[in-house]
Homo-oligomer: A and B are copies of this chain.
Protein backbone atom coordinates (compact mmCIF):
# COMPACT_ATOMS: atom_id res chain seq x y z
CA UNK A 1 0.00 0.00 0.00
CA UNK A 2 2.78 2.43 0.77
CA UNK A 3 4.19 4.06 -2.34
CA UNK A 4 7.72 5.16 -2.98
CA UNK A 5 8.81 8.18 -0.93
CA UNK A 6 7.88 11.22 -2.97
CA UNK A 7 10.40 14.02 -2.67
CA UNK A 8 11.28 16.57 -5.33
CA UNK A 9 14.25 18.88 -5.00
CA UNK A 10 14.59 22.26 -6.67
CA UNK A 11 18.08 23.71 -6.92
CA UNK A 12 20.23 25.87 -9.19
CA UNK A 13 22.73 24.66 -11.78
CA UNK A 14 26.27 24.48 -10.38
CA UNK A 15 27.46 27.62 -12.21
CA UNK A 16 24.99 29.76 -10.24
CA UNK A 17 27.23 29.72 -7.15
CA UNK A 18 29.72 31.95 -9.00
CA UNK A 19 27.29 33.95 -11.12
CA UNK A 20 25.69 36.27 -8.59
CA UNK A 21 27.16 38.89 -6.28
CA UNK A 22 24.84 38.69 -3.27
CA UNK A 23 26.60 41.49 -1.40
CA UNK A 24 26.07 44.39 -3.78
CA UNK A 25 23.02 46.61 -4.10
CA UNK A 26 21.09 46.64 -7.39
CA UNK A 27 20.12 50.28 -7.46
CA UNK A 28 18.29 50.78 -10.75
CA UNK A 29 15.70 48.90 -12.78
CA UNK A 30 18.28 48.55 -15.51
CA UNK A 31 20.81 46.88 -13.20
CA UNK A 32 18.14 44.50 -11.94
CA UNK A 33 17.09 43.53 -15.43
CA UNK A 34 20.73 43.13 -16.47
CA UNK A 35 21.02 40.41 -13.84
CA UNK A 36 17.89 38.60 -15.04
CA UNK A 37 19.08 38.66 -18.65
CA UNK A 38 22.65 37.67 -17.68
CA UNK A 39 21.28 34.63 -15.85
CA UNK A 40 19.22 33.67 -18.92
CA UNK A 41 22.36 34.02 -21.05
CA UNK A 42 24.46 31.86 -18.77
CA UNK A 43 21.72 29.20 -18.65
CA UNK A 44 21.91 28.99 -22.45
CA UNK A 45 25.69 29.04 -22.69
CA UNK A 46 26.07 26.37 -20.00
CA UNK A 47 23.34 24.26 -21.69
CA UNK A 48 21.49 23.97 -18.38
CA UNK A 49 18.04 25.01 -19.61
CA UNK A 50 15.79 27.32 -21.54
CA UNK A 51 16.67 30.98 -22.32
CA UNK A 52 14.93 32.48 -19.31
CA UNK A 53 16.22 34.15 -16.11
CA UNK A 54 14.54 35.91 -13.20
CA UNK A 55 15.49 37.73 -10.01
CA UNK A 56 13.57 39.11 -7.05
CA UNK A 57 14.65 42.25 -5.21
CA UNK A 58 13.49 44.25 -2.27
CA UNK A 59 12.55 47.72 -3.47
CA UNK A 60 15.73 49.05 -1.82
CA UNK A 61 17.87 46.97 -4.19
CA UNK A 62 18.71 43.97 -2.04
CA UNK A 63 18.64 40.71 -4.00
CA UNK A 64 16.60 37.96 -2.35
CA UNK A 65 16.17 35.23 -4.95
CA UNK A 66 17.14 34.15 -8.45
CA UNK A 67 16.03 31.48 -10.88
CA UNK A 68 16.77 30.09 -14.31
CA UNK A 69 14.61 27.79 -16.37
CA UNK A 70 15.23 24.28 -15.04
CA UNK A 71 12.48 22.25 -16.73
CA UNK A 72 14.67 19.78 -18.62
CA UNK A 73 17.52 19.67 -16.08
CA UNK A 74 15.19 18.70 -13.22
CA UNK A 75 12.43 16.86 -15.17
CA UNK A 76 9.84 19.31 -13.91
CA UNK A 77 7.62 21.35 -16.23
CA UNK A 78 6.76 23.82 -13.46
CA UNK A 79 10.31 25.07 -13.04
CA UNK A 80 10.23 28.18 -15.19
CA UNK A 81 12.73 30.84 -14.10
CA UNK A 82 10.09 32.89 -12.29
CA UNK A 83 8.77 29.87 -10.36
CA UNK A 84 12.26 28.97 -9.14
CA UNK A 85 12.89 32.59 -8.10
CA UNK A 86 9.60 32.75 -6.14
CA UNK A 87 10.40 29.47 -4.36
CA UNK A 88 13.94 30.50 -3.47
CA UNK A 89 12.90 33.95 -2.23
CA UNK A 90 10.08 32.55 -0.07
CA UNK A 91 12.39 29.85 1.27
CA UNK A 92 14.86 32.52 2.39
CA UNK A 93 12.09 34.69 3.79
CA UNK A 94 10.65 31.69 5.64
CA UNK A 95 7.21 32.70 4.43
CA UNK A 96 4.65 31.57 1.85
CA UNK A 97 4.20 35.20 0.87
CA UNK A 98 6.71 37.94 0.14
CA UNK A 99 4.05 40.37 1.35
CA UNK A 100 4.12 39.07 4.92
CA UNK A 101 4.02 41.69 7.70
CA UNK A 102 7.51 42.97 8.46
CA UNK A 103 8.93 42.12 5.04
CA UNK A 104 10.08 44.73 2.54
CA UNK A 105 8.22 45.30 -0.76
CA UNK A 106 9.36 42.86 -3.45
CA UNK A 107 9.76 43.17 -7.23
CA UNK A 108 10.28 40.50 -9.88
CA UNK A 109 12.53 41.13 -12.86
CA UNK A 110 12.29 38.48 -15.56
CA UNK A 111 14.02 38.33 -18.93
CA UNK A 112 10.79 37.47 -20.81
CA UNK A 113 7.08 38.04 -20.36
CA UNK A 114 5.66 35.43 -17.94
CA UNK A 115 3.52 32.56 -19.22
CA UNK A 116 0.05 31.85 -17.82
CA UNK A 117 1.43 29.68 -15.00
CA UNK A 118 4.03 32.22 -13.89
CA UNK A 119 1.56 35.09 -14.10
CA UNK A 120 -0.78 33.20 -11.77
CA UNK A 121 2.15 32.37 -9.49
CA UNK A 122 3.13 36.05 -9.40
CA UNK A 123 -0.29 36.87 -7.97
CA UNK A 124 0.16 34.36 -5.12
CA UNK A 125 3.83 35.17 -4.49
CA UNK A 126 3.42 38.47 -2.68
CA UNK A 127 5.42 40.63 -5.10
CA UNK A 128 4.08 44.10 -5.82
CA UNK A 129 5.77 44.81 -9.18
CA UNK A 130 6.68 42.71 -12.21
CA UNK A 131 9.09 43.93 -14.91
CA UNK A 132 9.87 41.87 -18.02
CA UNK A 133 12.25 42.24 -20.99
CA UNK A 134 11.28 40.37 -24.17
CA UNK A 135 7.57 40.14 -24.96
CA UNK A 136 5.30 37.12 -25.17
CA UNK A 137 5.39 37.56 -28.93
CA UNK A 138 9.19 37.35 -28.92
CA UNK A 139 8.94 34.09 -26.96
CA UNK A 140 6.31 32.65 -29.30
CA UNK A 141 8.44 33.63 -32.30
CA UNK A 142 11.14 31.35 -30.90
CA UNK A 143 8.62 28.48 -30.83
CA UNK A 144 7.59 28.43 -27.17
CA UNK A 145 3.99 28.90 -26.10
CA UNK A 146 2.83 31.35 -23.40
CA UNK A 147 -0.46 29.66 -22.59
CA UNK A 148 -3.77 31.42 -21.87
CA UNK A 149 -2.55 34.98 -21.20
CA UNK A 150 -4.90 37.78 -22.29
CA UNK A 151 -4.87 41.57 -21.84
CA UNK A 152 -7.37 41.13 -19.00
CA UNK A 153 -4.93 38.76 -17.27
CA UNK A 154 -2.45 41.63 -16.76
CA UNK A 155 -5.37 43.88 -15.83
CA UNK A 156 -6.42 41.36 -13.18
CA UNK A 157 -3.01 41.60 -11.49
CA UNK A 158 -2.91 45.38 -11.81
CA UNK A 159 -6.25 45.65 -10.01
CA UNK A 160 -4.69 43.66 -7.16
CA UNK A 161 -1.75 46.01 -6.79
CA UNK A 162 0.83 44.28 -8.99
CA UNK A 163 2.14 46.72 -11.58
CA UNK A 164 3.40 45.09 -14.78
CA UNK A 165 5.91 46.76 -17.11
CA UNK A 166 7.50 45.27 -20.22
CA UNK A 167 10.25 45.99 -22.71
CA UNK A 168 13.20 46.81 -20.44
CA UNK A 169 16.37 45.49 -22.18
CA UNK A 170 14.13 43.74 -24.68
CA UNK A 171 16.86 43.72 -27.35
CA UNK A 172 19.32 42.05 -24.98
CA UNK A 173 16.74 39.46 -23.88
CA UNK A 174 15.87 38.76 -27.53
CA UNK A 175 19.58 38.25 -28.21
CA UNK A 176 19.53 35.37 -25.71
CA UNK A 177 16.44 33.89 -27.41
CA UNK A 178 18.26 34.02 -30.76
CA UNK A 179 21.36 32.42 -29.24
CA UNK A 180 19.20 29.55 -27.91
CA UNK A 181 17.83 28.96 -31.41
CA UNK A 182 21.37 29.07 -32.83
CA UNK A 183 22.43 26.34 -30.39
CA UNK A 184 19.27 24.38 -31.29
CA UNK A 185 18.05 24.29 -27.70
CA UNK A 186 14.97 22.08 -27.20
CA UNK A 187 11.44 23.50 -27.33
CA UNK A 188 10.23 21.47 -24.34
CA UNK A 189 6.54 21.30 -23.33
CA UNK A 190 5.36 22.67 -26.64
CA UNK A 191 1.62 22.07 -27.16
CA UNK A 192 0.55 23.21 -30.64
CA UNK A 193 -3.11 24.09 -31.24
CA UNK A 194 -5.04 21.37 -33.07
Residues of chain A having any CB pair with chain B under 8 Å: 1-12, 16-18, 20-23, 65-66, 71-72, 74-78, 83, 86-88, 90-97, 115-121, 123-126, 145, 147-148, 150, 152-153, 156-157, 159-162, 188-189, 191-194
Contact = CB atoms under 8 A, between A and B. Distances in A.
Contact of A191 (B10, B76, B161): B161
Given A78-B124, A83-B78, A6 B91 contact: yes
A117 B123 CA distance: 9
Contact of A77 (B115, B126, B161, B191): B126
Contacts of A22: 1-3
Contact of A91 (B66, B75, B188): B75
Contact of A160 (B2, B126, B192): B192
Given A77-B86, A83-B78, A96-B71, A11 B6 contact: yes
Given A72-B96, A148-B157, A124 B6 contact: no
Please state the number of chain copies in the assembly: 2
B119 A120 contact: yes
Nearest to A10: B8
A121 B121 CA distance: 10
Given A76-B96, A97-B189, A8 B9 contact: yes
10 contacts: A1-B22, A8-B9, A74-B96, A77-B125, A78-B83, A115-B124, A116-B119, A119-B148, A120-B148, A160-B193
Given A9-B7, A9-B9, A77 B120 contact: no
A120 B96 contact: no
Contacts of A120: 115-120, 147-148
Contacts of A193: 159-160
